[in-house]
């Protein structure tokens, strides 16, 4: 075991640490509550985590490029209501979903263009989009939810394939694809390169603008995919959906070991991060801890993870 | 042993950085009211010496006497207390505050702690400005001032700190002739008040106009101190560059072939002017010049990273448009940047990932990275270039300078580069690795590549180049063949002025 650890670099150690953190939480809640470690509850956690987990994938790509996307929650709401209106108009479900995804991708692309061509810091560009997409969703629906969809659509939330809930399957597929892209393709390599050193990346012939636009676009697209999952689950698309989701997504990403300075991170880590948040919420609920206190706990975990990160790193170097 | 005539004496100053002896037994003495010119090539040790004097660096050994008493300068704040002021080329002013606020920043006169005495602030600032004979209102915002006037604010700031020793680092670098004139008036004025000035400049004409004595450094060594009036321009240049070239630069001449790169009348936004030259297969074309002469900009322009205002670039006789580094890479150009840490490498990526980065398509099959091939190629270059790394998966941040440079080189070797641009290829690299880099260059030219090598190191540029272009103020000031090039001729061209008159 010791030998194994000696072979790992800091980032791999970090990932193990996060995983053990998740394990420790599970053990803790198993001891504290008889209802935690049951198949139905664990699937419940996975299902509840799936939406944040999907959004966090886009966030991970963006943060690896040393950016940030604050608009994911608003983009989710906006693309959700547009999709819902298309579904209500009687067009086929795939068309509705595609329109929703297109709206999400477009919002993300606008973010990307503001960052690359407008040279606006990502924080500001996506803060603007956060407000614009939220407003657009409210305006489009006049502030009212669009509810009631047929069972075929709702299968995306309530269905099961081989006893596994569909949202969990979607999440797993997204993570497999993202992990593959990040580790096995040009796009992934460029993502790390841009975040690691944008000047060196440019001088290595990488088209920075193109790849940043794709990455922000995909982050928007994944928000829209989360909108599909959320709308199906609630049987309603709400213009006020997804508020504060950006914080959960950033938290999952950062707890998962992605550096806010860019250049480092994995989606596996992010998945563990999203599950840590999901388990925390679920466990605290089971223990009857109020949602107010839950916010305090989750905030503390985020800060604790970063504190540990920076200080471990400093002590190492 | 101290001579009371000197306000400052620095004796036997030594400073070593990892792998570099920056200052070796250096002397500097200052008299009250003199302008003492510190002269030397890029990297001669002038800045290091001034950083020691201003408390930014601590010396390894040596003695500093101020007013005849032995003094250890502890910190920049301590240097200020001792009356040492420094004006960098980059000003440290807050553009949105007034002139007076800048002069007294952090030391504002107060009624009682926390409440600024504005009347006194402006009055005292104005009186210092007036004493300098400059027409600046203390209440003006710094951003409304031109460069020359901002410099005066820096001078005023130093004087407000009761500076008796004022260091000016290339103060005329960005001034117009008229502004230089008024700066010189101020300097004369300061002299009369007994302020001693250390004046760093490459402009020999100015030195003759304003300098009293000159101290020359070369390669971190003290060459000598003489009254300006007893020196000619040629003697100064000789002192700056007259080093023995008994070095072991292992240049192997390659067969020179046809023209691979031709640059016709290239202009970039007033920074590069009317640049024309040709580069041949198998050739090492050295580019010499002082810092700021436009050498790095030329390299970046040829690499597609600057917007060309006018002019043509031809590769193998065909005109090309280089709008991005990608365009340049595609026509076979590779740039080994001056600063490998900030521009050459992604330090948090491994050796192999850095090597494959510029030409990653080579390693892609059906949209997927071929790790086997990537590993094999990385191992190939690690072996060929003798890159010392525990493994191909090591992040480049942990490699030594020489090995990092070899990784950068591998990037371009792996990209089928035919024209290599080296910008200061051996900066910060130890002697052994330097020789290896030179041998690699020999191998490149022997294999038919062409090399443009920008270098500030005379032995390197004289030893490795087949032909040398000297740049000055964004232009090519002259071209020297391998056989006619000497240190003196290069420096003469780089400094400009009289040489042109003589031609």
Distance CA A245, CA B501 (A): 71
pLDDT for the residue B241: 84
pLDDT for the residue B247: 66
pLDDT for the residue B147: 84
DSSP B142: G
DSSP string, B354-410: HHHGGGGGGGEETTEE-HHHHHHHHHHHHHHTT---S-TTSBGGGS-HHHHHHHHHH
Q: Is the model's pLDDT at B422 over the cut of 50?
A: yes
Instruction: Choose, out of B302, B357, B423, the residue to mutate when testing the contact with A (most A CBs < 10 Å).
Output: B357
Residue B333's pLDDT band, with cuts at 50, 70 and 90, is: very high
Q: Is A198 in contact with B343 (CB distance < 8 Å)?
A: no
Q: Is A237 in contact with A146 (CB distance < 8 Å)?
A: yes
Query: What burial letters (b/e) apply to A50-70, b meaning 16+ CB within 10 Å?
Result: bbbbbbbbbbbbbbbbbbbbb
Query: What burial letters (b/e) apply to A296-313, b meaning 16+ CB within 10 Å?
Result: eebeebbeebeeebeeee
What's the average model confidence in pLDDT over A30-34? 90
Tokens of B501: 């008159």
| CA dihedral over B178, B179, B183, B185, signed as positive or negative | positive
Q: Is the model's pLDDT at B454 over the cut of 60?
A: yes
pLDDT for the residue B50: 93
What's the average model confidence in pLDDT over B441-459? 92
Q: Is the model's pLDDT at B388 over the cut of 80?
A: yes
The 3-state secondary structure of B249-316 reads: CCCCCCCCCCEEEEEEEEEECCCEEEEEEEEECCCEEEEEECCCCCHHHHHHHHCCCCCCCEEEEEEC
Q: What is the Cα A282 distance to its own chain's centre?
A: 18
pLDDT for the residue B499: 42
pLDDT, one tens digit per residue, over A41-82 is 998 899 889 999 999 999 999 999 999 999 999 999 999 999
Residues listed for chain A: 317
Contact A186 B369 (CB under 8 A): yes
Phi and psi at residue A91, to the nearest 5°: -70, 155
Query: What burial letters (b/e) apply to A4-20, b meaning 16+ CB within 10 Å?
Result: eeeeeeebeebbebbbe
Does residue A142 sit within a domain? yes
Does residue A293 sit within a domain? yes
Q: Which residues, listed in sequence order, are joined to residue B268 by a DSSP beta bridge? A: B272
Instruction: Choose, out of B329, B349, B394, B407, the residue to mutate when testing the contact with A (most A CBs < 10 Å).
Output: B349
Q: Does B305 touch chain A (CB under 8 A)?
A: yes
Max Cα-Cα span within chain B = 80
| CA dihedral over B269, B275, B276, B279, signed as positive or negative | negative
Domains and CATH numbers, chain B: 6-241 (3.40.50.300), 245-332+418-434+444-503 (3.40.50.300), 340-416 (no CATH)
Give me chain A's average pLDDT, please: 90
Q: Is the model's pLDDT at B267 over the cut of 90?
A: yes
Residues listed for chain B: 503
Distance CA A144, CA A137 (A): 10
Does residue A252 sit within a domain? yes
Question: Tokens 């477009």 identify what position?
Answer: A106
Whole-number percent of chain B with pLDDT over 90: 57
Q: Is the model's pLDDT at B274 over the cut of 80?
A: yes
Tokens of B386: 């003798």
Q: Does B413 touch chain A (CB under 8 A)?
A: no
Contact A193 B349 (CB under 8 A): yes
pLDDT for the residue B1: 43
Q: Which of B192, B195, B142, B191 is nearest to B165 (CA)?
A: B195
Cα B37 to Cα A155, B148, B206, B233, distances in angstroms: 82, 20, 10, 14
Contact B305 A186 (CB under 8 A): no
CATH of the domain at A64: 1.10.3470
Q: What is the Cα B492 distance to its own chain's centre?
A: 18
What's the average model confidence in pLDDT over A27-35? 91
pLDDT, one tens digit per residue, over B40-53 is 887 788 989 999 99
Residue B501's pLDDT band, with cuts at 50, 70 and 90, is: very low
Distance CA B254, CA A63 (A): 48
Q: Which of B8, B12, B9, B2 is nearest to B60 (CA)?
A: B12
Residue A8's pLDDT band, with cuts at 50, 70 and 90, is: low
The 3-state secondary structure of B99-133 reads: HHHHHCCCCCCEEECCEECHHHHHHHHHHHHHHCC
| CA dihedral over A161, A166, A168, A170, signed as positive or negative | positive
pLDDT for the residue B455: 92
The 3-state secondary structure of chain A reads: CHHHHHHCCHHHHHHHHHHHHHHHHHHHHHHHCCCCCCHHHHHHHHHHHHHHHHHHHHHHHHHHCCCCCCCHHHHHHHHHHHHHHHHHCCCCHHHHHHHHHHHHHHHHHHHHHHHHCCCCCHHHHHHHHHHHHHHHHHHHHCCCCEECCCHHHHHHHHCEECCEEHHHHHHHHHHHHHHHHHHHCHHHHHHHHHHHCHHHHHCCCCCHHHHHHHHHHHHHHHHHHHHHHHHHHHCEECCCCCCCHHHHHHHHHHHCCCCCCCCCCCHHHHHHHHHHHHHHHHHHHHCCCCHHHHHHHHHHHHHHHHHHHHHHHHHHC
Q: Is the model's pLDDT at A2 over the cut of 70?
A: no
What's the average model confidence in pLDDT over A98-124? 96
Interface confidence, given as ipTM, is 0.85
Contact B343 A263 (CB under 8 A): no
Q: Which of B287, B288, B387, B408 is nearest to B337 (CA)?
A: B408
pLDDT for the residue B500: 44
| Nearest-by-Cβ selection for B368 from A9, A184, A207 | A184
Q: Count of A–B CB contacts within 8 Å?
A: 75
Does residue A34 sit within a domain? no
Q: Does B333 touch chain A (CB under 8 A)?
A: no
Q: Does B347 touch chain A (CB under 8 A)?
A: yes
pLDDT for the residue B204: 85
| Nearest-by-Cβ selection for B346 from A185, A193, A207 | A193
Query: What burial letters (b/e) apply to A172-190, b meaning 16+ CB within 10 Å?
Result: eebbeebbebbebbbebbb
pLDDT for the residue A9: 64
pLDDT for the residue B368: 92
A287 against A8, higher pLDDT? A287
pLDDT for the residue B372: 93
pLDDT for the residue B433: 82
Instruction: Choose, out of A9, A181, A193, A200, the residue to mutate when testing the contact with B (most B CBs < 10 Å).
Output: A200
Left (φ > 0), alpha (ψ -120 to 50) or beta: where does A309 sit?
alpha
Does residue A208 sit within a domain? yes
Query: What burial letters (b/e) apply to A268-278, b meaning 16+ CB within 10 Å?
Result: bbbbbbbbbbb
Residue B498's pLDDT band, with cuts at 50, 70 and 90, is: low
What's the average model confidence in pLDDT over B403-420? 91
Q: Is the model's pLDDT at A20 over the cut of 60?
A: yes
pLDDT for the residue B246: 63
Does residue A35 sit within a domain? no
Tokens of B210: 């304003």
B483 against A210, higher pLDDT? A210
Residue A159's pLDDT band, with cuts at 50, 70 and 90, is: confident
Shortest Cα–Cα distance, B327 to chain A (Å): 8
Q: Does B342 touch chain A (CB under 8 A)?
A: yes
Shortest Cα–Cα distance, B350 to chain A (Å): 11
Range of the domain at A298: 44-308
Instruction: Choose, out of B304, B336, B346, the residue to mutate when testing the contact with A (most A CBs < 10 Å).
Output: B346
Phi and psi at residue B450, to the nearest 5°: -115, 145
The Cβ of residue B308 has, within 10 Å, a number of other Cβ atoms equal to: 18
Q: Is the model's pLDDT at B502 over the cut of 50?
A: no
Q: Which residues contact A47 (CB under 8 A, 6 or more apart)?
A: A165, A167, A168
Give me chain B's average pLDDT, please: 89
Residue B318's pLDDT band, with cuts at 50, 70 and 90, is: very high
Rg (CA), chain A: 20
Stated pTM of the model: 0.83
Give, to the nearest 10 degrees, the angle between helix A245-255 and helix A291-316: 30
What's the average model confidence in pLDDT over B168-193? 85
Does residue A27 sit within a domain? no
Distance CA B346, CA B407 (A): 11
| Nearest-by-Cβ selection for A185 from B330, B343, B367 | B367
Does residue A313 sit within a domain? no
Q: Which residues, listed in sequence order, are joined to residue B452 by a DSSP beta bridge? A: B285, B421
Contact A205 B326 (CB under 8 A): yes
Q: Which residues contact B127 (CB under 8 A, 6 or more apart)?
A: none
pLDDT, one tens digit per residue, over B104-144 is 988 888 888 889 999 999 999 999 998 887 889 999 999 99
Query: How many domains, chain A?
Result: 1
Q: Does A103 touch chain B (CB under 8 A)?
A: no
Q: Which of B316, B347, B352, B308 is nearest to B333 (CA)?
A: B316
Contact A201 B346 (CB under 8 A): yes
pLDDT for the residue B64: 95
Contact B358 A205 (CB under 8 A): yes
To the nearest 5 percent, what fractions of chain B are helix, strand and coil? 35, 25, 35
What's the average model confidence in pLDDT over B360-365? 90
In this structure, of A65-79, A296-310, B57-71, B378-392, the range with the lowest mean pLDDT score is A296-310
| CA dihedral over B262, B265, B267, B270, signed as positive or negative | positive
Cα A134 to Cα A76, A216, B441, distances in angstroms: 9, 18, 59
């Amino acid at each position: 075991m010791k030998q194994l650890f000696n072979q790992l670099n800091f980032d791999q150690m970090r990932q193990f640490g996060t995983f053990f953190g998740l394990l420790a939480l599970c053990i803790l809640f198993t001891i504290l509550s008889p209802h935690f470690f049951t198949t139905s509850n664990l699937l419940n956690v996975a299902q509840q985590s799936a939406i944040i987990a999907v959004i966090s994938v886009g966030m991970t790509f963006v943060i690896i490029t040393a950016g940030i996307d604050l608009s994911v929650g608003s983009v989710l709401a906006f693309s959700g209501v547009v999709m819902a209106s298309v579904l209500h108009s009687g067009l086929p479900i795939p068309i509705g979903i595609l329109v929703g995804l297109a709206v999400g991708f477009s919002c993300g692309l606008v973010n990307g263009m503001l960052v690359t061509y407008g040279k606006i810091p990502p924080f500001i560009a996506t803060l603007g989009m956060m407000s614009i997409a939220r407003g657009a969703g409210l305006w489009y629906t006049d502030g009212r939810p669009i509810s009631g969809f047929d069972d075929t659509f709702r299968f995306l939330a309530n269905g099961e394939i081989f006893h596994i809930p569909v949202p969990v399957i979607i999440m797993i597929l997204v993570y497999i694809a993202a992990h593959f892209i990040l580790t096995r393709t040009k796009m992934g390599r460029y993502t790390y390169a841009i975040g690691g050193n944008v000047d060196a990346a440019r001088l290595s012939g990488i088209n920075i603008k193109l790849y940043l636009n794709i990455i922000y676009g995909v982050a928007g697209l994944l928000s829209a995919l989360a909108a599909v999952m959320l709308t199906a689950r609630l049987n309603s698309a709400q213009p006020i959906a997804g508020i504060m989701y950006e914080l959960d997504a950033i938290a999952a990403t950062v707890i998962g070991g992605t550096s806010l300075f860019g250049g480092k991170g994995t989606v596996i880590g992010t998945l563990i991060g999203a599950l840590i948040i999901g388990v925390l919420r679920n466990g605290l609920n089971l223990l009857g801890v109020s949602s107010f206190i839950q916010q305090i706990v989750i905030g503390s975990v985020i800060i604790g993870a970063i504190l540990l990160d920076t200080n471990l790193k400093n002590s190492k170097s | 042993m101290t001579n009371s005539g000197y306000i400052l004496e620095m004796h036997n100053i030594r400073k070593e950085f990892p792998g570099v002896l920056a200052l070796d037994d250096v002397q500097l003495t200052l008299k009250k009211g003199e302008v003492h010119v510190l002269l030397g090539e890029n990297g001669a040790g002038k800045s290091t010496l001034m950083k020691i004097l201003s408390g930014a660096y601590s010396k390894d050994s040596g003695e500093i006497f101020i007013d005849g008493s032995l003094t250890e300068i502890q910190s920049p704040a301590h240097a200020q207390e001792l009356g040492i002021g420094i004006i960098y080329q980059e000003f440290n002013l807050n553009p949105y505050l007034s002139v007076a606020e800048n002069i007294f920043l952090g030391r504002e006169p107060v009624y009682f702690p926390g409440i600024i005495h504005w009347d006194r602030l402006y009055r005292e600032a104005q009186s210092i400005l007036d004493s300098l004979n400059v027409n600046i209102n203390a209440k003006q915002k710094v951003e409304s001032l031109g460069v020359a006037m901002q410099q005066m604010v820096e001078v005023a700031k130093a004087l407000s700190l009761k500076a008796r020793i004022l260091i000016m680092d290339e103060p005329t670098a960005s001034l117009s002739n008229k502004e230089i004139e008024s700066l010189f008036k101020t300097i004369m004025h300061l002299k009369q008040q007994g302020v001693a000035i250390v004046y760093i400049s490459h402009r020999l004409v100015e030195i003759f106009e304003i300098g009293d004595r000159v101290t020359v450094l070369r390669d971190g060594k003290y060459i000598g101190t003489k009254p300006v009036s007893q020196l000619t321009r040629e003697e100064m240049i000789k002192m700056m560059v007259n080093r023995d070239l008994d070095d072991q630069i292992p240049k192997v001449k390659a067969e020179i072939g046809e023209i691979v790169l031709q640059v016709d009348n290239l202009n970039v936004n007033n920074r590069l002017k009317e640049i024309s030259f040709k580069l041949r297969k198998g050739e090492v074309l050295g580019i010499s010049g002082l810092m700021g002469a436009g050498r790095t900009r030329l390299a970046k322009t040829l690499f597609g990273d600057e917007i060309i205002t006018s002019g043509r670039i031809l590769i193998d006789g065909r005109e090309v448009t280089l709008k991005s580094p990608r365009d340049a890479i595609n026509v076979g150009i590779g740039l080994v940047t001056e600063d490998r840490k900030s521009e050459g490498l992604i330090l948090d990526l491994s050796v192999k990932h850095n090597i494959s980065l510029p030409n990653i398509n080579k390693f892609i099959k059906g949209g997927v990275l071929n790790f086997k091939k990537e590993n094999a190629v990385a191992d190939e270059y690690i072996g060929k270039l003798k890159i010392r790394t525990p493994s191909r998966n090591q992040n480049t941040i942990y490699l030594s300078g020489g090995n990092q440079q070899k990784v950068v080189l591998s990037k371009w070797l792996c990209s089928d580069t035919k024209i290599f641009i080296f910008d200061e290829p051996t900066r910060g690299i130890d002697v052994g690795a330097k020789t290896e880099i030179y041998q690699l260059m020999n191998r490149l030219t022997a294999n038919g590549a062409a090399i443009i090598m920008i270098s500030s190191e005379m032995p390197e540029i004289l030893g490795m180049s087949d032909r040398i272009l000297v740049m000055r103020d964004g232009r090519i000031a002259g071209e020297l063949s391998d056989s006619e090039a000497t240190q003196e001729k290069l420096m003469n061209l780089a400094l400009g002025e009289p040489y042109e008159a003589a031609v």
